[in-house]
Structure 1
Amino acid sequence: MQIPAKQTPRSFGRVNWMGLSTLAKRETLRFLVVWTQTLLAPLVTAGLFLLIFTIAIGPGRPDVMGVPFLIFLAPGIMMMTVIQNAFANTSSSMVIAKVQGNIVDTLMPPLSPLEILLGYLAGAISRGVMIALIVAVALAVVLGLVPQNPLFSFVFVILGGAFMGALGLFAGIFANKFDQMAAITNFIVTPLAFLSGTFYSVQALPPVLNRISHVNPVFYLIDGLRYGMIGVSDSSPYLGTAICIFATFLVCGITWQMLRTGYRLKA
């Protein structure tokens, strides 16, 4: 009778801190080495959105929720920029590794599925936070917009980076080709970002669309950051925080399971 091999604890302890920090550093350096594309370009995009809406709508646009439209618009554009780039950081890293065949470099080291997940999320959150800080400084200089509730602003930026980073990793694992990744981005991520109250208050929507919007976690991310930046929101920021935390843990749990089983990662 064959005796099963004795499982020995990892020599570096319960957590591979060196491996985790190395993976997090790799995912962070991925976007820092091309900062003009990953940090400067989102700032330009956010500025163009504000400029276009200013020119198209003009100064005659009435206030929204008691604040000037441009001030109302700014936090939504900031969060939209954060979540799109957090999603891109993990999804592009994973799908490129799979297509190029070097995903083995991530799977072979002694990293647990949770450590791999956290390493990827560290890069996504770091990119989201850096972009948020850059855009916030630009808004303060151009519009004089200073966060009224800095703690809420910070919390929702972190939640936005974590939620969309986990969703991007899920999409990167699921997609086997670049065109599949592009389809997920174009038909799921972009509509979620644009149709979640970025450019309008959901109070202006018909009742059915209003209820649908309140099911979307991205709505609470945008609404929560808007509360943190300008002090107004369509829903309770505490409810939004709870929903975003639940959605983040849910997506992280699904992605962790995919990493644990090697779904579409191991031949």
Structure 2
Amino acid sequence: MVELNKKYHIGVKKFGFVNWIGFKSLWLKECNRFMVVWQQTLLSPLVSSLLFLSVLSLALGNNRGDVLGYSFISFLAPGLIAMSILGQSFSHSVSSLMIGKIQGNIVDMLYAPLSALEVSMAIILAALTRSFLIATISIGVFSLIVEIPIYNILYIFVFGFLGAFILGSLGFITGLWAEKFDHTATVTNFVITPLSFLSGVFYSIDKLPQFFQTISHINPFFYMIDGFRYGFLGKSDGSINIGLIYLSILSVLIWYVAFFLYKKGYKIKS
């Protein structure tokens, strides 16, 4: 027994400032969760975007007129892609926490040697991974049927990242707050969908009265869509620099709220 004690030292595992092994494992687990049902998580958003594109192109026609110097369909396509990745980023984070709470296995994360920083970032980055996979697939498919120029891929990445990160963080907060899927549907139907549709996805805000243009410039979804579209067309409805600053600050604030609520155990610890 004395020899055994000398040979093996029992102590607390030291992970350093960040438990990279646990962080990577949770991120991979979240990615595997949406990859298992890829038809629903990756293919379904593409089909929805294509249906929007088809219906509007048939109803309005590609010769509806120039929007920002491009045909209506070329203007519409980047907005639909952006709207899709934003919605799916929110959906991933909120469903991850809701499923864990309903099935009771959220305790696995609570008892694991993972900090609030590691858990929140792993789930949100998995939502980002899902969003960027959808964006890549959608851009590839859309480019086959619609003429979509690419002005600057850096703007596509930055605004796509900021938008998906904000929605992933918002989904994380919603997942902590909601007690059933009806609550998450309320946020989707009364917050996410209206802000998305009123963000300039289907129109240029120059067509709106001045009062509604001012309201649109407050809507963060407007800057997400506008900046993402700018990466394709090189033209925008609003200020790209203001959008970058606005979304960067908003992303930090919303993530911090998500981090703080999880750290306090909001609605997940008795």
Answer whether contact 1:27 1:122 (CA < 8 A) is retained. no
- Residues 10 and 221 of structure 1, relative CA distance in 2, 3 Å threshold: farther
Query: Is 2:62–2:71's contact at 8 Å kept on the other side of the alignment?
Result: no
Which residue does 1:127 correspond to in 2? 130
Residue in 1 aligned with 2:8?
none
Q: Which residue of 1 aligns with 2:24?
A: 21
1:5 corresponding residue in structure 2: none
Unaligned runs of 5+ in 1: 1-7
Tell me which stretches of 4 or more aligned residues in structure 1 moved more than 4 Å.
Answer: none
Residue 36 of structure 1 corresponds to which residue in structure 2?
39
Q: Deviations over 1:223-247 (max 9, x none)?
A: 0011001111011222211111111
1:208 matched to which residue of 2?
Answer: 211
**Structure 2: where are the runs of 5+ without partners?**
1-10
Q: TM-score, normalised by structure 1?
A: 0.94
The answer as to 2:96 corresponding to 1:87 is: no
Say if 2:131 and 2:164, in contact at 8 Å, map to a contact too: yes
- Contact 1:89–1:124 (8 Å) recurs in 2: yes
Structure 1 residues 91-129: Cα deviation after superposition (integer angstroms, max 9, x where no partner):
011111111211101111011111111110111000110
1:48-83 residue CA offsets vs partner (Å, 9 max, x unmatched): 111000111023411112111001111110100000
C-alpha separation in 2, matches of 1:100 and 1:212: 41
Report the 3-state secondary structure (helix = DSSP H, G, I; strand = E; otherwise coil) of the residue aligned with 1:11: coil
Letter in 2 for 1:247: L
CA RMSD of aligned residues (A): 1.3
Written as runs of structure 1 = structure 2, the 5 A alignment for 1:131-142 is: 131-142=134-145
Among 212, 227, 248, which residue is 1:224 paired with? 227
1:78 is the counterpart of 2:74: no
**1: CA distance between counterparts of 2:263 and 2:213?**
38
Alpha-carbon separation, structure 2, partners of 1:177 and 1:143: 40
| Separation in structure 2 between the aligned mates of residue 37 and residue 19 of structure 1, nearest angstrom | 27
Q: What is the letter of the counterpart of residue 41 of structure 2?
A: T
Q: Work out whether 1:109 is the aligned partner of 2:112.
A: yes
* Alpha-carbon distance, 1:156 to partner: 1.1
- 1:255, 1:219 → 2: CA distance? 22
CA displacement 1:126-154 (0-9 Å, x = unmatched) = 01100000111112211131311111001
Q: Distance in 2 between matches of 1:197 and 1:10?
A: 51
> Partner of 2:186 in structure 1?
183
Specify the SS of the correspondent of 1:14. Answer: coil
Paired residue total? 260
| Aligned mate of 1:170, from 162, 168, 173 | 173
Counterpart of 2:267 in structure 1: which amino acid?
R
Give the superposition deviation at 1:9: 8.4
Quote the Cα distance in structure 1 between the aligned partners of 2:13 and 2:244. Answer: 36
